[in-house]
Amino acid sequence: MTQGTYQQTAYRNNLSVIWNEVVKNIKTLLAYPTIIVFWAIFPIFWFIPFILQGEAFVGGLESSSFAQITGTGEYIPFIVIGAILSSYVNTLLYGMGENIRKEAYQGTLDYVLAAPCNKAYVLIGKAVSESLSSTIFAISQLTISVLLFGMNITLGVMLPVSFIIILLILGLYGMSLLMAAFSLMYKQSYDLSESIGYIFYIFAPVRYPVESLPTWAQIIGKFIPLTYALIIVRSLMLLGSDLSSVYLEVIALVIIDVVLLVSGLYMFNKIEKKTRKSGIISHH
Amino acid sequence: MAIDKESEEFSIETKDLTKKFAKKKHRGIFGFLRKNQQNNKHNNVTVALDKLNLSIRPGELFGLLGPNGSGKTTTIKCLSTILIPDEGRAIVNGFDTQKETAMVRASLGMVVGGERTLYWKLTARDNLTYFASLYKMPRKKAKIRIEELLETFQLSDRADERLEDYSTGMRQKVAIARALLHDPPILLLDEPTLGLDPGFARQIRRQIRELSEKQGKTVLLTTHYMNEAEQLCDRVAFINNGKIVAVDTPNRLKARVKEKEIVEIAVYSPPADIEKQIRSLLPDAEVVKLIRGNEDEGSPSRIKIIGGTAEEHIGTVIDALRQNNVRIGSLNVGFPTLEDVFIKLTGAKLTEGRT
């Protein structure tokens, strides 16, 4: 064995990289107490405007025309699910790019990239940290919805719902690799992640049912993982369906995940090499 | 541990290593109007390393000296695989930096950029634990090693405090401890004492010397402090504009100007052409160099004269300075330093930018 190298089993080593990345990010987050206050208050502000807007339009919290399109007359759970799943888009796309930008700014990025571990696992650790904050956010929103708006949650559906959220996170992880690559190249990815976020909000059924969109927009929506995640989770939680009745959407989500993960990893490796060649990697 | 002077194998070897950077274009939205002015390909490229050749033996403490922008940090970044060279190759611990990247990375510990390159919101222990995982260290081994290093660098008492509460010197110690975590055979240290107070700088120098002598580590040290290089290094290479100008032991390098005395005069507010005036008065002097100081911060400019005899020079130079109403702070006649050798070889001084 060459001095300085360690031969741990690959999977233990990779888990250790992911775990330590998560611990690092959480400890850093906890070093800023005001962020905790923000996370405690923001979930309420995030979706209440949508609920009030809907109530103003339909004259109450239930609507027969809404029920005709969606199969459920309950507007609040529909909106809450949209808000929760789209918060994963926010944190993963924006969070990953921002995390890489901060590493470059504080000078730690060179050390992370010059270490012998596989960088994909460092990025998984970053994605897991971001997903954890989204999950805390989601739990806060669900709790508020139950307490303030009397939303009913069947615990039995939470397992398949969690499975779908993991599939959504995998697809978003593929996209966040692209954001990380963009941050390496351009030292920020805020504009790109904001733009993608807005595309998601327009073409995926976050605030309205997919049927409200014109046909051409529905076709674009079919390439967005959030579209399938929203359709499946709403079917499970609001219509009482099981996974077998939405298996086509699940398959579509898995296919999009594979495409996004493979292309995201390829692009990250390609751009990382390009920045090491051009010297941009050491700029901040 | 002694250096293997007969060794044909090198811990670090570069062959014609070349790195070029494209100059950043700041054209703005109407930049296309200036497109033709910036079309010259050669003007848009900075050659940071120009066919650099280095051979460093196992266990050697090797200094790379040069002014800012001379290519020191680029050399370290190419060796550590952070940058990919445009031409040539680099071999580290027997591994090619472009083909066996993971093995090169595992063979190296580096300190580049100093205290800024750590997570200030985390403790010293948290920082070291995190980086140990990136170097694939098993958890138990990492824990033992971290305790050892905290002890060595006298940080055990404050290991659980955030780095934001540390002094610059303490953070630099953590940065060096991080480089040693996985016990690499080779260390790349880029200006490790930059910005440290004299006490901490002394401690760091002693520890670097011990790493080489007691642990047999090969150390590539970049610095522009001549005293540091003279005190620490077995051999020194001068680098200027991306090229190696000379390589030898500090004593042999100084011997190149040893028979000549060096006159150094501290002066205040010298006119711009004083160097030219003095040079015309001293045709037999090998080097006449005005090194601009920062008088507002109490650092006068210095005139260095190498070659000829000191007595003859002093009288002539003082007359010239008086005629120009230049105030003289001090005058020294002494033996050459590494900076004198560097000035003689390149015409530049170690503390200025690219020539």
Provide the CB-side half-sphere exposure for A161 (13 A, CA). Answer: 20
Of A45-59, B17-31, B222-236, where does the model show the most confidence?
Answer: B222-236
The answer to whether the beta carbons of residues B263 and B331 sit under 8 Å apart is yes
Q: Is B93 in contact with A278 (Cβ distance < 8 A)?
A: no
pLDDT of residue B93: 94
Interface confidence, given as ipTM, is 0.83
Percent of chain A at pLDDT above 90? 30
| Per-residue pLDDT, B355 | 41
Residue B25 has pLDDT above 90, yes or no: no
**Strand pairing report for B186-190 and B108-111:** parallel
Predicted confidence band of residue A48 (pLDDT cuts 50, 70, 90): confident
Alpha helices in chain B (DSSP H): 72-79, 101-107, 124-134, 139-152, 168-180, 198-213, 226-232, 250-255, 274-281, 310-323, 338-346
Q: In the structure, what pLDDT confidence band is assigned to residue B258 with cuts at 50, 70 and 90?
A: low
Q: Does B11 touch chain A (CB under 8 A)?
A: no
- Among the ranges given (A6-10, B240-244, B269-273), the one the predictor scored with the smallest mean pLDDT: A6-10
**How many A/B residue pairs have CB atoms within 8 Å?**
125
Burial class (CB in 10 A: 0-12, 13-18, 19+), B18: middle
Alpha-carbon distance of A173 to B139, in angstroms, equals 27
- Alpha carbons B116 and B197: distance in angstroms, whole number: 17
- Comparing CB atoms, the residue among B84, B105, B120 nearest residue A114 is B105
**If you measure CA to CA, which chain A residue comes closest to B138?**
A8
Q: What is the dihedral of CA A25, A31, A33, A34, to 10 degrees?
A: -70
Cβ within 8 Å of residue B263, ≥6 positions away? B303, B304, B305, B310, B313, B314, B317, B331, B332, B333
pLDDT number for residue A239:
86
Domains of chain B, CATH where assigned:
12-249 (3.40.50.300), 259-334 (3.30.70.260)
pLDDT digits (tens, 9 = 90+) for A218-261: 999 999 999 999 999 999 988 888 889 999 999 999 999 999 99
Q: Is A1 on the interface with B (CB under 8 A)?
A: no
The minimal CB distance from A24 to the residues B106, B110, B130 is found for B130
B89-107 average pLDDT score: 94
**What integer pLDDT is reported at residue B8 of this predicted model?**
66
Tokens coding B326: 């230049």
Select the highest-mean-pLDDT range: A94-108, A187-201, B80-94, B291-305: B80-94
Q: Is B44 or B321 the better-scoring residue by pLDDT?
A: B321
* A window 102-121, beta carbon within 8 A of B: 106-108, 110-117
Round to whole Å and give the CA distance between B267 and B275: 12
Q: Taking Cα atoms as reference points, which of A18, A116, A19, A6 lies closest to residue B138? A: A6
Q: Is the pLDDT higher at B188 or at A182?
A: B188
Cα of B186 to nearest chain A Cα, Å? 9
A124 in contact with chain B, both atoms CB, cutoff 8 A: no
- Pairing assessment for the beta strands B301-306 and B287-291 based on DSSP bridges: antiparallel
Average pLDDT on B117-142 reads 94
Q: What does DSSP assign to residue B71?
A: S
Which residues of chain B make contact with A115, given a CB cutoff of 8 A? 105, 131, 134-135
Q: How far is B328 from chain A (nearest CA, A)?
A: 43
